[in-house]
Chains A and B, each alone.
Chain A
Amino acid sequence: MIKLDRVGLSFPGDGAPTEVLKDFSLTVPAGRFVAIVGPSGVGKSTLLRVVAGLLSPNEGTVTINADRQDNPLPVVMVFQDARLLPWRKIEGNVGFGLEHGQVSAAARRERIHAALELVGLEGYGHRYPHELSGGQRQRVALARALAVDPDILLMDEPFAGLDAITRESLQDELSRIHAATGKTVLFVTHSIDEAVYLADEVVAIAGKPGRLAAAIPVAAPRPRTRGAPESAGIAAQLREQLAEPPAA
């Protein structure tokens, strides 16, 4: 479970500090898939960094409840750029989060293999990142996060740079993984359709500093079909929310 309570965050700049998040509260129960949408620069990435513990909020509190206490890495992030380590082969990149001494070498190999299989890249382990396409690199980044087997998966526009076909297949992959593992997912996207297709709940952030503008549950049954009529209704509702300036 993720619980943000009246979180405020500002970056010190020359002159007045920039307020990026203000009075931001959000609770994501365990196992829920929450998508965050909003215009660029509104503070979505900053929000994920706060949840990941990469940034400390100036105000408010962040509570993370891991489901299992033995997991050394309960929260893991997938960045928008694949952010692979160019000097490591693909298998070394996928195994990056398994180097905390908690997994034996044999178990590590097994988990790397399983994660690569999950994203459809079995047989690519011995290549270097520069030998892969952009879409494949993004899959490796996803495999690297999944190999850790976190309770909470934070994803920052992970499919934004991909072509439509790769993007849709990775969306389906992620849906399947979420259904199979029951991980909590916080998924940032600027695509309303992607958010509605994937999430149990879509949260819209708007304004400067960023505030929660709307939180709309998506009740459509899974597995979902693209462009189902009930999704279209929710998408339209979200577009309206995001177009209007939020009530002050």
Chain B
Amino acid sequence: MTRGRATVLAALGLTVFLAIWELMPALGVVPAQILPPPSALPRAFEREFSSGIWFASVLLSLRNYLAGLVIGCALGVGLGVATGMSVSFEAALSWVVRVLRPIPGLAWVPFAILWFGIDPAAAIFIIGVGVFWISYFAALGAVRAVDRDLIELADAFGFRRADQKLVKVILPAAAPGILAGLRTAVGQAWMAVVASEIFGVPGLGQRMMQASNLLASDIVVIYMATMAACYGIIDTGFVALQSRLLRWKR
């Protein structure tokens, strides 16, 4: 299929989707209060935007998102690489990992509130926990999969210390796997944003909950679309960075 044809089909699919969505409340299949038609959305957005709430919420959430993502991924990749490089470290952590890993991110909410209060730090913690495991296992797997021959090459050329091997061979060789994991984390962190703000930390998740309690379903849709857009922009940027870093791959 040519690129042009694919684009046309994609646009057609989206149009049909929007048309069905528009028709459902118009034909009285569902009340407009439960499903606001797309045509109602620009006005809702304008209201939300001109009051300044939209921008403030996005900014707050974006800060929580980035802080949680960076901290969680840094710890996850760091610990994953260390575990991947040291068999005894891995053995020492194996049961701890088994105990902690199955706990879903939301289950940490009570502790997040206890430790940080109703504070952005609590939201950052929840987001961070979620991406931690993704990046931890991605880094662990990628480091374990590094070609032993390349590590032997480092040895043969005098890079015998672990830190030398890490910089010269292990990190670059593991980069594709680590970056693939980070990309998953970039998406997953947005899911955590809403969850982390449900209990009152200001941001777009909290705004969504407020709107939903007021049955302002059009505002809810505005924030759903906002998140989709944020995710789209950040993911596109990440993919660009990723292919720049991995331009050596054929």
Residue from B153, B169, B250 whose CB has the most chain A CB atoms within 10 Å: B153
Which residue of B is nearest A52, CB measured? B156
Q: How far is the CA of A88 from the CA of B248 in the complex (A)?
A: 7
- Contact status A130-B158, CB under 8 Å: no
Q: How far is the CA of A241 from the CA of B91 in the complex (A)?
A: 50
B216 proximal to A (CB < 8 A): no
Which residues of chain B are within 8 angstroms of A85 by Cβ–Cβ distance?
150, 153, 169, 172-173
B149 proximal to A (CB < 8 A): yes
- Contact status B149-A130, CB under 8 Å: no
- Contact status B248-A83, CB under 8 Å: no
Q: With A85-B169, A86-B249, A128-B248 in contact, is A77–B156 under 8 Å at CB?
A: yes
B157 proximal to A (CB < 8 A): yes
Q: Tally A residues with Cβ within 8 Å of B.
A: 22
Q: How far is the CA of A96 from the CA of B169 in the complex (A)?
A: 11
Q: What is the interface of chain A mostly: helix, strand, loop, or mixed?
A: loop
A97 proximal to B (CB < 8 A): yes
Which residues of chain A are within 8 angstroms of B250 by Cβ–Cβ distance?
128, 130
Among A54, A97, A130, A148, the residue within 8 A (CB) of B152 is A54
Q: Mark B162-177, 1 if CB is under 8 A from A, else 0.
A: 0000001100110100
Which residues of chain A are within 8 angstroms of B175 by Cβ–Cβ distance?
87
A122 proximal to B (CB < 8 A): no
Q: Mark A88-113, 1 if CB is under 8 A from B, else 0.
A: 11000000110110000000000000
> Which A139-188 residues have a C-beta within 8 angstroms of B?
144, 148
- Contact status A83-B153, CB under 8 Å: yes
Q: How far is the CA of A97 from the CA of B249 in the complex (A)?
A: 23
Q: How far is the CA of A144 from the CA of B175 in the complex (A)?
A: 23
B155 proximal to A (CB < 8 A): yes
- Contact status B149-A97, CB under 8 Å: no
- Contact status B172-A87, CB under 8 Å: yes
A81 proximal to B (CB < 8 A): yes
Residue from A87, A97, A130 whose CB has the most chain B CB atoms within 10 Å: A87
- Contact status A79-B157, CB under 8 Å: no
Q: How far is the CA of A73 from the CA of B157 in the complex (A)?
A: 7
Which residue of A is nearest B147, CB measured? A83
Which residues of chain B are within 8 angstroms of A86 by Cβ–Cβ distance?
248-249
A72 proximal to B (CB < 8 A): yes
Which residues of chain A are within 8 angstroms of B153 by Cβ–Cβ distance?
79, 83, 85, 96
A7 proximal to B (CB < 8 A): no
A116 proximal to B (CB < 8 A): no
A76 proximal to B (CB < 8 A): yes
Which residue of A is nearest B158, CB measured? A73
B217 to chain A, nearest CB (A): 50
Q: How far is the CA of A130 from the CA of B248 in the complex (A)?
A: 8
Which residue of B is nearest A86, CB measured? B248
Q: How far is the CA of A163 from the CA of B161 in the complex (A)?
A: 37
Which residue of B is nearest A97, CB measured? B157
A232 to chain B, nearest CB (A): 35
Which residues of chain B are within 8 angstroms of A89 by Cβ–Cβ distance?
248
B175 to chain A, nearest CB (A): 7
- Contact status B158-A72, CB under 8 Å: yes
Which residues of chain A are within 8 angstroms of B152 by Cβ–Cβ distance?
54
Q: How far is the CA of A52 from the CA of B153 in the complex (A)?
A: 11
A233 to chain B, nearest CB (A): 36
Q: How far is the CA of A57 from the CA of B250 in the complex (A)?
A: 40
Among A54, A87, A128, the residue within 8 A (CB) of B155 is A54
B165 to chain A, nearest CB (A): 12
Q: How far is the CA of A83 from the CA of B149 in the complex (A)?
A: 7
- Contact status B248-A76, CB under 8 Å: no
Could you pull out 22 A-B pairs where Cβ atoms are within 8 angstroms?
A54-B152, A73-B157, A73-B158, A76-B157, A77-B156, A79-B153, A79-B156, A81-B149, A85-B153, A85-B169, A85-B172, A87-B172, A87-B173, A87-B246, A88-B172, A88-B248, A96-B168, A97-B157, A97-B158, A130-B248, A144-B157, A148-B157
